[in-house]
Amino acid sequence: MKILRVDMSQNQIREETVPAAYERLGGRALIAKILLEEVPPTCDALGPHNKLIFAPGLLAGSGVTTAGRLSIGGKSPLTRGAKEANAGGTAGDVLGKLGFKAVVVEGQPSKGDFYILYIDGDEAEILPADDLVGLGTYETSDQLQEKYGSDSTVISIGQAGEGCMGGAGICVTGEGGQRSNYAARGGLGAVMGSKGLKAVVIDKPVGKAVPLADAEKFRTAARTFAQKLINDPKLGTKGSQHLYGTASIVAAVNEIGSLPTRNFSAGNFEGMEKLRGEHLREVTLSRGGEAGTRCMPGCVIACRNVYVDESGKPIVGTLQYETIALLGSNLGLGSLDEVALLNRMCNDFGLDTIETGAALGVAIEAGLADFGDFASIRGLLEQVGKGTVLGRLIGNGAVATGRVLGVRRVPAAVGQGMPGYDPRSLKGNGVTYATSPQGADHTAGNAFGARKEVNPLGVEGQKELSLKLQIIAAMLDSTGLCLFARPPIIAEPQLMVDLVNGRYGWDWTVEDYNRFNRDVLRTELEFNRRAGLTAADYRIPEFMREEPLPPHAATFDIPDSDLDSVFEAL
Amino acid sequence: MKILRVDMSQNQIREETVPAAYERLGGRALIAKILLEEVPPTCDALGPHNKLIFAPGLLAGSGVTTAGRLSIGGKSPLTRGAKEANAGGTAGDVLGKLGFKAVVVEGQPSKGDFYILYIDGDEAEILPADDLVGLGTYETSDQLQEKYGSDSTVISIGQAGEGCMGGAGICVTGEGGQRSNYAARGGLGAVMGSKGLKAVVIDKPVGKAVPLADAEKFRTAARTFAQKLINDPKLGTKGSQHLYGTASIVAAVNEIGSLPTRNFSAGNFEGMEKLRGEHLREVTLSRGGEAGTRCMPGCVIACRNVYVDESGKPIVGTLQYETIALLGSNLGLGSLDEVALLNRMCNDFGLDTIETGAALGVAIEAGLADFGDFASIRGLLEQVGKGTVLGRLIGNGAVATGRVLGVRRVPAAVGQGMPGYDPRSLKGNGVTYATSPQGADHTAGNAFGARKEVNPLGVEGQKELSLKLQIIAAMLDSTGLCLFARPPIIAEPQLMVDLVNGRYGWDWTVEDYNRFNRDVLRTELEFNRRAGLTAADYRIPEFMREEPLPPHAATFDIPDSDLDSVFEAL
């Protein structure tokens, strides 16, 4: 395997054999290690010393179901710490098949020019992107696929990333003209913009396959893994995840009183019925849209959808839970059509819907629009594409928006806007938001699925739960696996060990695998420590610790001592 | 002596005898101690748990020349750490005479209402300020002095403070209708705004004097001190400080190549001649303005001026060096009239001219106005008074402006805009900016005066110089003395010891006094540490460490190890 080093200061590319220290790492684990080894932790996240790292997971390209997620990372302009966000689409798979352990983008052009990185098999080059500057991700992907082939993979940023806005994510295309896969969180689109990189285009590798050291062991494990997912009552073809997508949890999050509503001022939303996954499926199918589609080739869960308007024309694919919570109930909007339109705008500008939804909620609280008033909210969001000062403010996310507009009720932790679970009534997620080296992420250690095991309103057991989930998340993000694929691995860790050993011929034991997963967190925490983050940065905002959240009048009351000791057991 | 506790949550006032731990502290020293003892260090600086502390120095009200500066402090919304800023005017003197060790404003009204704190001798009350909301500091001071007497002291905020903008300072009136004394730095005006406190009005105390424990010792020391200032060649009536004010250094700062020019992109300004103190005096006197006026009763230095327009009408009093640097050369403006007009706008909105000048420089770099183009710059600044999103951005200071507008060249340290000395060619100031618990302040340890002893471009001796100056600054800020009054105290520390012992009957030795001064820094550093500040927060921005500054092609090259070890000798 190899690493591609792309130097945007010198306009040079070189291929590197994988150093020993990186050999057994992939995805998020590799990103954390490269950051710690190579990036000055206190550097300007948008300056030349940061690196933007594309790293497929350990199992990328091998055909294991759900294992094609592409991890993208760097020092985050929002959290100031280590960041990894991952996306579906075809990028993880093709980079894996091409034998790339990572593509590391370094430096920064001296002028504000933009470029494309074009990868064709073993060749790579940096090309001018003048004609793409200012375009959204849809048009960028369309133009590039028209030029390089509809089966090529395009990784791109929109206006938000070009403008180095902290809420910018990175878009990855999927099979068959599919769009809307985002490595959304932490402002990595701004890092890509700061590198002058408008897009990466990867030609479809023909006839390439990853070598399997022990094909039989690998294939047995891969089959078992896929079968277990298919047999899982939630994930299989009759499961809610497949039928209703991630939106299947809208009603359940609302039921526990944790659905962000009007800038996190309530945990129930009166318009919830029209936002839930069941309604989403009904509307989608009745209009000729699609449900149960895939973000990655070969995924057996297939939780995506293509949401269409009344005439059957696609608005966005896919409409997901976090987006529905942050751009829906959090803004007082109870219409999927409205949420989908805002979602499409975010996708096009290349904005994280979570960060942007949180920022819009804060802006509405400051009086710049009205909760529930689609037209005024759309008007705000349009500003991002126009690059106005107001647009740049929203595009920079919740914390910047709150600071400039003088709003104290900012739902964020470690500088990053919170996803769709109010931590006051889902305290396990609060512990994760307040301790994860990744900040407030929905995938860093999400306790929602464990709400029946650990009382979401109680203090007891939350820190242990969060740590357990954070370790699992680190593993998934490092192998390229989807978060939803975790049940079989949790039930039988040997399955993952067999997959990895079968793929690489290593002699990992379950203990090695456990250490590997924990090391991801340790490495990230150490980078963050060196970057200057302290307990003070990892806290739930004051208002959530003091303002009771209806309907349970819950505050975030996990003691600081619990938060400070989460990683003692690491 | 006593402490006045003003609870804005409960609308209650109570008087408290001074706790033993606070007894021997004043001004900045007392603020640091109250913060450490009473304010949760990680609290929201604009929330109810922060405190706004008005603390006259130890010698306030005693008639010692220059000792009437009022320290104002709290947790800074810009630095996140301990903040003290002090202002001339009559407030320090009258609070000292009334026996107030401190006025501590706590809590926060539940609605966004504004109030006045009215102090009349031993009585104090909280009154509604509805009729003052939205007014600038000139009109606010005028209306309140009309109501409460032209000899009352008014401490107020303008639109910036009301709007909780991080660049907001606090205005203090002086004798004879004098305006324009500012505790400008660190966003304390925003803290005052967050408390719902529009103004403090203090009736002139009649016939009140501070008791002197050893009147003879005190008076001898006070006379000697004043005489030494009068005899000082720089400070006396023939000295440059008196004749030309703080602007006397414009040419000298330009000469060493440290004059901030066009957002800190050069250290020389071609229009410098028209900004220097000599020219300021000439213009002022030729138009019938005033030079050599006082900010505090009894000051023998008298470095102020009243800058007037061509018709002799006052624009601003006083026009000072830092303002000329930040709103003048830093914006490419070479006209004192233009600088004075911007200065007046800042004064009226209640904005720190340093922070705002730095923010405007960053905004110009982002293309929102043009260097040297007064009309476009004034247009930007006007937005602050209007409270638009753009105005709120500028009003929130350099770091917020840079972040939202995507500008990496932000002249700031510890979250605060830099004063009028580019640290690349005055490295002692760079060490202070990068290590002082107060962040980038012009008064926290200013090495400009020592430029002939320590080469401003060299690395050698800077950290020792900065520490020495930081300790002296802490002393001055804690006794109420002006920065310019330091030479006699540095030459003869016993003078300060005699003043304090004569005033209070203490038995301080020079060693006690040394420990006291160092303890101020220790206390602030500890508060900041608990607030989560680390070495990563205390750094000079990346661009200044890499981008050579003309004319010396200087970068900020003091090694981190020097910065990290400044306080080892504390």
Flag if B534 and A535 touch (Cβ within 8 Å).
Answer: no
A326 Cα to chain B: minimum distance (Å): 22
Residue listed under structure tokens 């830099």: B418
Question: Which residue, among A111, A534, A563, would best test binding to B if mutated, counting the most B CBs under 10 Å from its CB?
Answer: A534
Q: How far is B535 from chain A (nearest CA, A)?
A: 7
d(Cα B563, Cα A44) in Å, to the nearest integer?
Answer: 19
Contacts of A536 in chain B (CB under 8 A): 41-42, 80, 530-532
Split at pLDDT 50, 70, 90, the class of A236 is confident
pLDDT score, position B499: 98
Name A305's bridge partners. Answer: A291
d(CA A114, CA A304) in angstroms, rounded, equals: 32
pLDDT value at A111 more than 90: no
Residue A40's pLDDT is 98
What are A163-208's pLDDT values in tens digits? 999 999 999 999 999 988 999 999 999 999 999 999 999 999 999 9
B145 token code pair: 């002095």
Alpha carbon distances (Å) from A509 to A67, A500, B242: 20, 10, 79
Rounded (5°) CA angle B399-B405-B406? 85
Q: Which residue of A has its CA nearest to B80?
A: A536
SS3 label, residue B407: coil
A393–B396 CB contact, under 8 Å = no
Question: Does the ipTM surpass 0.90?
Answer: yes
Residue A73 φ/ψ, nearest 5 degrees: -150, 175
Please provide the size of chain B in residues.
570
Size of interface A-B (CB pairs under 8 A): 84
Q: How far apart are CA B17 and CA B10, in angstroms?
A: 20
pLDDT tens digits, A16-66: 999 999 999 999 999 999 999 999 999 999 999 999 999 999 999 999 999
The dihedral sign for the CA sequence B311, B315, B316, B320: negative
Residue A237 confidence (pLDDT): 85
The predicted-structure confidence for A437-448, as pLDDT tens digits, reads as follows: 999 999 999 999
Tokens of A505: 């011929």
pLDDT value of residue A234: 87
> A110-125 in b/e burial notation, b at 16+ Cβ within 10 A?
eeeebbbbbbeeeebe
Residue in B315, B322, B321, B327 with CA at minimum distance from that of residue B290? B315
What's at B318, amino acid-wise? T
Mean pLDDT over A425-452 rounds to 97
Give the dihedral of Cα atoms B187, B191, B197, B199; nearest 10 deg. Answer: -30
Q: How many residues does chain A have?
A: 570
CB atoms within 10 A of CB B23: 14
- Short-list B557, B305, B521, B551, CA closest to B427: B557
B560: closest chain A residue by CA: A42
Dig out the tokens for B67 from the structure. Answer: 């000792």
Which contacts qualify for B240-244: CB closer than 8 Å, 24 or more apart? B240/B277, B241/B301, B241/B303, B241/B484, B242/B292, B242/B301, B242/B302, B242/B303, B243/B277, B243/B281, B243/B291, B243/B292, B244/B276, B244/B277, B244/B278, B244/B280, B244/B281, B244/B291
Using a CB-CB cut-off of 8 Å, the residues of chain B touching A389 are 368, 389-390, 393, 404-405
Q: In 3-state terms, what secondary structure has residue B201? A: strand
Please judge whether B404 and A390 are an interchain contact, meaning their C-beta atoms are less than 8 angstroms apart: no
Where would I find the H helices in B350-443?
A: 353-365, 374-386, 389-395, 398-405, 427-435
- Which residue in B has a C-alpha nearest to residue A162's C-alpha? B406
Average pLDDT over residues A428-434: 98
* CA proximity to A530, closest of B536, B566, B562, B531: B536
Sign of the dihedral defined by the CA atoms of residues B25, B29, B31, B34, in that order? negative
Collapsing DSSP states into helix, strand and coil, what is residue B135?
Answer: coil
Distance, CA of B469 to CA of B462 (rounded, Å): 10
Structure tokens at B304: 């102020």
Which residues contact residue B177 at a Cβ distance below 8 angstroms, ignoring those fewer than 6 apart?
Answer: B145, B150
Token pair of A363 as six digits? 């802006």
Average pLDDT over residues A123-141: 97
Which residues of chain B fall short of a pLDDT of 50? none
Phi and psi dihedrals of B293, rounded to 5? -95, 175
pLDDT of amino acid A297: 87
- Nearest CA to A53 out of A69, A37, A32 is that of A32
Q: Reading across the β-sheet that carries A290-293, which strands appear in turn? A: A290-293, A304-308, A314-316
**Which residues of A are less than 8 Å from B42 in CB distance?**
535-536, 539
Q: How far is A387 from chain B (nearest CA, A)?
A: 9
Chain A residues in contact with chain B using a Cβ-Cβ cutoff of 8 Å: 41-44, 46-47, 49, 80, 163-166, 368, 389-390, 392-393, 396, 400, 403-406, 408, 530-532, 534-537, 539, 541-543
pLDDT band at A128 (very low <50, low <70, confident <90, very high): very high
The pLDDT, as a whole number, for residue A359 is: 98
Q: How far is CA A245 from the centre of its chain?
A: 16
